[in-house]
Structure 1
Amino acid sequence: MYKLFEDRNRQFWILHSLGWLGFAIVNYLGSLVQETRDAYLIVLALDAYVGWLITIPLRYIYQRIWFWPPWRMILIVLLLALLIAAVWTSVRNFNYWEIYRHGYRPDDWLQYIKDTPVAFYVMLSWSGLYFGIKYYQTLQLEKQKSLTATNKAHEAQLKMLRYQLNPHFLFNTLNAISTLVLINETDTANKMVTRLSDFLRYSLYKDPINRVPLEQELYAAKLYLEIEKVRFSERLTIEFDIEQGTERALVPSLILQPLIENAIKYAVASQVNGGAITITAKKFGHDLLLEVSDNGPGMPITDGIPKSNACGVGLVNTKERLAALYDNDFALVLTHNEPRGLKVNIRIPLQLEQAEANHVEGNSSR
């Protein structure tokens, strides 16, 4: 049905025909109150057909005057409606007298147009419906254009937020590679370059508008952490706690990276002995829970929000991306880790990859 009405030209012909068909049906039902011969059905059919035919030119005239000043447009509509009403009334009376009254001829020619006021009302109704529907279509088109523009801006904002990689990470990585080359650790330097290349390729080619399976996000996180592992060596401990079945859950691409980056910066790099980072994923009802925790010095928190801006733009960008993708159906909360450190918890709707979702649906139906 939507495709049937999608084309505006087709929509006009359907509504135009249905309108005149409705006119014929209503008049036929009204005629049942009085005794009428079968010939009256022919008269009604001809009246509806003539009305259908002579109002077609109005469409093209109204299209041309659509952008005229209102007073001129109203004047033209009234004059055209009156003219078409007079013509239609004459044809209707002629059909009625020729078919239903067997060739009756009135003495006064004004009898042919005596019912023009009634027909004028019908033509005004047709014109009102035409302009009403056209105005509604114009509003819908403008609304669609506005939504398209908003979506484009929305996508641009998401891409900007997603692509705000910390330049310090690149500088530190390149410096580490340079150091490895200077001390002849070419194999390690080569591996580090390869991982950096894979990580940058992932970050640049994954569309931030689309969600990716969690296993791909974990792959990117491991690439990032392996690069940092070369820098910090034994000072960095990494642990993954991924509940079985969550690997196919869809998440925004690189949603974990800024959280891990903050943990490295504030919990590992700031401590002489380094620190540990734990990445957790589990299901909770219809939600997916993600957590990045560390054993660093932590920070003051009030109601899940840090009191200072120590976390930089990472958390702000993450929250803005989640809000743009999930509206209000998400949560991002900071809590204290035990015995020390910080936890960043993300809750988003549990959405499985399409193939996995179809498999689960098929099993449930069986």
Structure 2
Amino acid sequence: MNWRQLFDDRNKFFWVLQLTGWIGYGLIQYLGSFTQEMRDIYMVIVALGAYAGFLLTIPLRYLYRRIWNRRPAWLFFVVLVASFVTAALWAVIDNATNWEIYRFGYRPINPLFYFNYTIAKWYIILSWSGLYFVIKYYQMLQDEKQKALTAASMAHQSQLKMLRYQLNPHFLFNTLNAISTLILVEENKAANKMMSRLSDFLRFSLDNEPIKRITLAREVEVLMLYLDIEKVRFEERLQVFTAITEDAARALVPSMFLQPLIENSIKYAIARLEEQGTIEINARVEVETLVIEVKDNGPVAVHEIPKRSNKGGGVGLSNTAERLKALYGKQYSFNLFANDPTGCIVEIRIPWQVV
């Protein structure tokens, strides 16, 4: 059993601390009494005193557990009284043991000496009580912290799932519309090819959890399934180029986070071009940062780029930005630039992380 498991098991943790604490107390008492006549019998006296303290503080644990939720003033009062009563009993046992075993017979005790001795024991019991409450409150804070982390993690995962699943109906609607159009114009071969690619793409989508990450190489591989679907529609009008370094290909990225960017380029760039359209996917690593660029040559002027990023009803670019924010917090950037001579560049910077 490791320390974390021991800490989580409150009952075992208490007994380990109780045992080691009173053993430590006994050793300190014995080693600190070098002025006493160090007979072997004195070790027995010290051991009996520590054992008495061990036994007398056990009921305090159950008492404190019963009054744990009472008002602070009442709790404080009970702790003071219970500690004093326990200290008084301990002092009686300690003195009886000391006189009967070590001093060889009972002798009358000065009441003032006995009172001062009880007060000294009281401080020790109060210290025990203070440690009990400190550890108990710390355990409660750890429990609340763990609950908060679990709740935050569940909310975070729900948000990521929502953002990811939001893409599927959007993409599916567009693709089925395209297949329907191909069937209407009797392009059955093209429609069948597109349906086959759609099946492969959706199979990947269903087999991968939205909150998990995959390598960029795998992400681009799946992205090509989507582009194959679009190539059925645009044929030679759509050309795709990739330039991904070896380090970038090994990087972990959110699954299917590039698909809405490509869809955005196709919708606002390729679909509006009469001549050949191109999409470039570049990725490289710069000082522990993964830099990904998606470029197109669409007929978009520089001043129209902000308008393009705001279209789509919150799906697409904004969806990708929200997913990156949920995953990386402030450790990401998402920017739009004008391409040369025309078109748009989407640049994403996220931490470079590998398996």
On whether the aligned pair clears a TM of 0.5, the verdict is: yes
Matched with 1:154 is 156
Alignment match of 1:103 (pick from 105, 115, 122): 105
For residues 76 and 191 of structure 1, what CA distance do their matches in structure 2 show? 80
Residue 291 (structure 2) pairs with residue 310 (structure 1):
no
For residues 276 and 65 of structure 2, what CA distance do their matches in structure 1 show? 73
Alignment of 1:265-284 (within 5 A): 265-273=267-275, 275-284=277-286
For residues 311 and 34 of structure 1, what CA distance do their matches in structure 2 show? 88
For residues 303 and 148 of structure 2, what CA distance do their matches in structure 1 show? 40
Matched with 2:16 is 14
Contact preservation (8 Å) 1:89, 1:113? no
Matched with 1:172 is 174
Q: How far apart are 1:126 and its partner, in Å? A: 0.9
Residue 354 (structure 2) pairs with residue 345 (structure 1):
no
Alignment match of 1:83 (pick from 63, 69, 85): 85
Q: How far apart are 1:177 and its partner, in Å? A: 1.6
Alignment match of 1:294 (pick from 271, 293, 296): 296
Matched with 1:64 is 66
Alignment of 1:89-238 (within 5 A): 89-106=91-108, 115-165=117-167, 167=169, 169-238=171-240
Alignment of 1:312-331 (within 5 A): 312=312, 313=314, 314-331=316-333
Q: How far apart are 1:184 and its partner, in Å? A: 4.1
- Distance change in 2, residues 1:343/1:178 (3 Å): same
Output the TM-score relative to the length of structure 2. 0.89
For residues 105 and 299 of structure 1, what CA distance do their matches in structure 2 show? 105
For residues 171 and 161 of structure 2, what CA distance do their matches in structure 1 show? 19
Q: How far apart are 1:339 and its partner, in Å? A: 2.1
Contact preservation (8 Å) 2:26, 2:47? yes
SS at match of 1:102: coil
Q: How far apart are 1:309 and its partner, in Å? A: 4.5
Amino acid across the alignment from 1:144: Q
- Distance change in 2, residues 1:227/1:39 (3 Å): same
Q: How far apart are 1:285 and its partner, in Å? A: 3.8
Output the TM-score relative to the length of structure 1. 0.87
SS at match of 1:96: helix
Q: How far apart are 1:307 and its partner, in Å? A: 6.8
Q: How far apart are 1:211 and its partner, in Å? A: 0.9
Q: How far apart are 1:328 and its partner, in Å? A: 2.6
For residues 59 and 322 of structure 2, what CA distance do their matches in structure 1 show? 53
Q: How far apart are 1:181 and its partner, in Å? A: 3.0
Q: How far apart are 1:124 and its partner, in Å? A: 1.3
- Distance change in 2, residues 1:285/1:309 (3 Å): closer
For residues 204 and 233 of structure 1, what CA distance do their matches in structure 2 show? 27
For residues 185 and 307 of structure 1, what CA distance do their matches in structure 2 show? 35
Matched with 1:357 is none
The number of residue pairs the alignment matches comes to 351
Contact preservation (8 Å) 1:196, 1:227? yes
For residues 170 and 109 of structure 2, what CA distance do their matches in structure 1 show? 100
For residues 62 and 237 of structure 1, what CA distance do their matches in structure 2 show? 74
Write out per-residue CA displacement over residues 179-235 of structure 1, whole angstroms, 9 at most, x where no aligned residue.
333444333322211221222232233222221012221122111111112222232
For residues 108 and 42 of structure 1, what CA distance do their matches in structure 2 show? 24
Amino acid across the alignment from 1:30: G
SS at match of 2:121: helix
Alignment of 1:28-47 (within 5 A): 28-47=30-49
Contact preservation (8 Å) 1:299, 1:306? no
Amino acid across the alignment from 1:106: P
Runs of at least 5 residues in structure 2 that lack an aligned partner in the other structure: none
Runs of 4+ residues over 4 Å off in structure 1 = 107-114
For residues 33 and 274 of structure 1, what CA distance do their matches in structure 2 show? 99
Runs of at least 5 residues in structure 1 that lack an aligned partner in the other structure: 354-366
Contact preservation (8 Å) 2:7, 2:13? yes
Please, what is the CA RMSD of the aligned residues? 2.6
